[in-house]
Amino acid sequence: MSSDHPTYPTSLGVSDLHTISLMGQDLSADLIGKVSFGHLAYRLITLQEPTEGQARVFEAVLVALADHGFTPTAISARMTYLSAPESIQGALASGLLGGGSRFLGVSEDTGRFLADALAGVEELPTTTEGWDELAADAVRRQRAAGRFVPGLGHHLHKQGDPRIAALYGVAHEAGQVGPHLALFEAVGRVAEEVTGKALPLNGAGACGAALADIGIPVELLRGVVLLARCAGLLGHIAEEVRGNHVAADVFADVERHAVYVDPPAPARGEA
């Protein structure tokens, strides 16, 4: 290669005829069989070696977000596989593409909300009362702007998301409860008084807070969520492959019960 040929710098992976390296280490000699997938994913995202506590929280979040039953994204993956069984990548992609503000995007939205609330704080609170005051102010400002408070409420777990206690337990044991998790916990304490609604904290929001506390950039939070959910989506597709044809049943049920209705009349003044 001539000395004046352009180069393409990367701190991730490079390969040549005989070797593959990741982050400056030999993939075969230094990484395969010696680090977990979660450990490697954290390093690829941050370019930092995770501490034992960071790695534990990261792995816990991946487990917490892997699957949540027949969500729209899981149904989408199954339905796409039914339509195109030759394209497993299409089925996985269809489920991942559904990650948005209602499903899978909540972790990122919560992380951004918490990061914005913390951005203007010169000195972090040292008491429960101080955290509650900061949380109440953040919730009020969010509502005044006409926006939902992310991380509150769940379509199914109306009386509390069972993942919350487990995630906070791991974070405490690992010494990784930072300002995002502290503020999110405070949001849960003050939300009902500020909003007038009893909305419990949800696991997706806690995952966003936990990831932010272990150094995952806010703009990459949804990517970690999708990484975790990919495993769950693959599990749903695997069930279809094994003969548990939920997608076919859904399709048949909708098709049998579809009924024609006349379109609504145009509103007065419309052409």
Q: What is the pLDDT along the chain (271 residues), one digit of tens a residue?
A: 557 889 999 999 999 999 999 999 999 999 999 999 999 999 999 999 999 999 999 999 999 999 988 999 999 999 999 999 999 999 999 999 988 777 778 999 999 999 999 998 989 999 999 999 999 999 999 999 988 899 887 666 666 789 999 999 999 999 999 999 999 999 999 998 988 888 899 999 999 999 999 999 999 999 999 999 999 999 999 999 999 899 999 999 999 999 999 999 888 776 6
Which among 245, 238, 232 is positioned nearest to 68, based on CA atoms? 232
Q: Which residues are CB-neighbours of 157 under 8 A, at least 6 positions away?
A: 200, 202
Give 3-state DSSP helix, strand, coil % of the chain, rounded to 5: 60, 5, 35
Which among 211, 259, 218, 177 is positioned nearest to 64, based on CA atoms? 211
Architecture of domain 106-220: Orthogonal Bundle (1.10)
Query: Crossing angle, helix 221-242 and helix 37-46, to 10 degrees?
Result: 150
The ranges of the chain annotated as CATH 1.10.230.10 are 106-220
pTM tops 0.95: no
What letter does residue 54 receive in the DSSP assignment?
H
